[in-house]
């Protein structure tokens, strides 16, 4: 009879440094330690927290990795509290997608599920100021057919703005995390003027539906817009859809 090793069922023990880091992180997140505040000197923290120097230093390194402190060296240095931005989450998640060897096809699948949902929410919640911002992005795109960098920057601006207007911060941050390869341009896909004009028309239609409060129409048009883009890549550069994602230049 095979003997089962009970330690196979034992949960991972949380290290003292990780437990301390979580406690300090909670204090930062809940505002007990304000952004910009400098944490006490190491000797004072050791006395207050009753932990070893190794545990404290490892906990601070974890907080630095999590983006909750900046550790400066030299006179007047030490750990200073900060709050990470949603853009940093986007960068980290984007990098994780690359490390997982995911493809443009994988990201396209996610966007086809998420962005129509955000367009539906945006139609119910969008403000006149947000509509104006979206229309401005389209006007800049119209002036940027010969400036690909500006054109695709405005494309990202449009998709981020729709996600933000949906007022679902979790989904919005995920959309931001994948939008840098949303159009395929950063993966080497080439677009002619006609395709760029189609993008502008699609954006304009989505904005009109958002302004009209047509949730289902906005969601349907967003899905159609993304699907047309994916089919264009599949037709013209199919290998790009299957290639691992690249970190954008």
What pLDDT sits at residue 1?
46
CATH of the domain at 188: 1.20.120.530
Same domain, 107 and 201: yes
Q: What gap in Å lies between CA 17 and CA 59, rounded to an integer? A: 5
Residue by residue, DSSP assigns 168-229 as -HHHHHHHHHHGGGSSSGGGT----HHHHHHHHHHHHHHHHHHHHT-HHHHHHHHHHHHHHH
- Residue 10, helix vs strand vs coil: coil
Last residue of a domain, which of 33, 54, 81?
A: 81
What is the sign of the dihedral through the CA atoms of 176, 211, 150 and 246? Answer: positive
Same domain, 106 and 194: yes
pLDDT confidence tier of residue 242, bands split at 50, 70 and 90: confident
What pLDDT sits at residue 9?
44
Same domain, 77 and 90: no
127 in any annotated domain = yes
Rounded average pLDDT over 16-27: 91
- Residue 66, helix vs strand vs coil: coil
What pLDDT sits at residue 86?
66
Last residue of a domain, which of 81, 114, 144?
A: 81
Q: What gap in Å lies between CA 226 and CA 105, rounded to an integer? A: 12
pLDDT at 223 over 70: yes
Same domain, 76 and 90: no
Domain region containing 105: 86-242
Same domain, 105 and 225: yes
Same domain, 122 and 214: yes
pLDDT at 6 over 50: no
**Do 95 and 162 meet the contact criterion of CB atoms below 8 Å apart?**
no
CATH of the domain at 50: 1.10.10.10
20 in any annotated domain = yes
Last residue of a domain, which of 35, 53, 81?
A: 81
249 in any annotated domain = no
174 in any annotated domain = yes
Residue 162 DSSP symbol: H
Q: Give the global pTM.
A: 0.70
Q: Which positions ≥6 away from 84 have C-beta within 8 Å?
A: 66, 67, 68
Q: How does the average pLDDT of the chain come out, rounded?
A: 85
What pLDDT sits at residue 78?
83
**pLDDT (tens digit per residue) in 163-173:** 999 988 777 77
More confident residue, 7 or 246: 246
Same domain, 112 and 228: yes
Structure tokens at 242: 């299957």
């Amino acid at each position: 009879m095979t003997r089962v090793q009970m330690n196979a069922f034992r949960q991972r023990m949380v290290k003292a440094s990780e437990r301390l880091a979580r406690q300090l992180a909670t204090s930062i997140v809940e505002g007990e330690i304000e952004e910009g505040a400098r944490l006490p000197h190491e000797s004072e923290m050791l006395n207050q927290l009753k932990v070893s120097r190794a545990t404290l230093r490892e906990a601070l390194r974890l907080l630095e990795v999590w983006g909750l402190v900046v550790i400066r060296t030299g006179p007047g240095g030490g750990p200073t509290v900060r709050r990470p931005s949603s853009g940093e989450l986007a960068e980290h998640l984007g990098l994780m997608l690359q490390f997982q060897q995911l493809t443009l096809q994988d990201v396209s699948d996610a966007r086809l599920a998420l962005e129509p949902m955000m367009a539906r929410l945006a139609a119910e919640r969008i403000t006149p100021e947000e509509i104006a911002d979206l229309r401005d992005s389209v006007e800049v795109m119209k002036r940027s057919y010969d400036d690909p960098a500006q054109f695709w920057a405005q494309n990202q601006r449009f998709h981020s703005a729709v996600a933000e207007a949906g007022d679902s911060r979790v989904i919005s941050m995920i959309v931001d995390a994948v939008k840098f390869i949303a159009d395929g341009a950063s993966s080497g896909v080439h677009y002619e003027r006609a395709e760029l004009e189609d993008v502008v028309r699609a954006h304009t239609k989505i904005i009109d539906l958002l302004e009209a409060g047509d949730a289902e129409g906005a969601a349907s048009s967003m899905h159609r817009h993304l699907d047309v883009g994916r089919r264009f890549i599949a037709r013209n550069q199919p290998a790009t859809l299957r290639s691992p994602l690249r970190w954008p230049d």
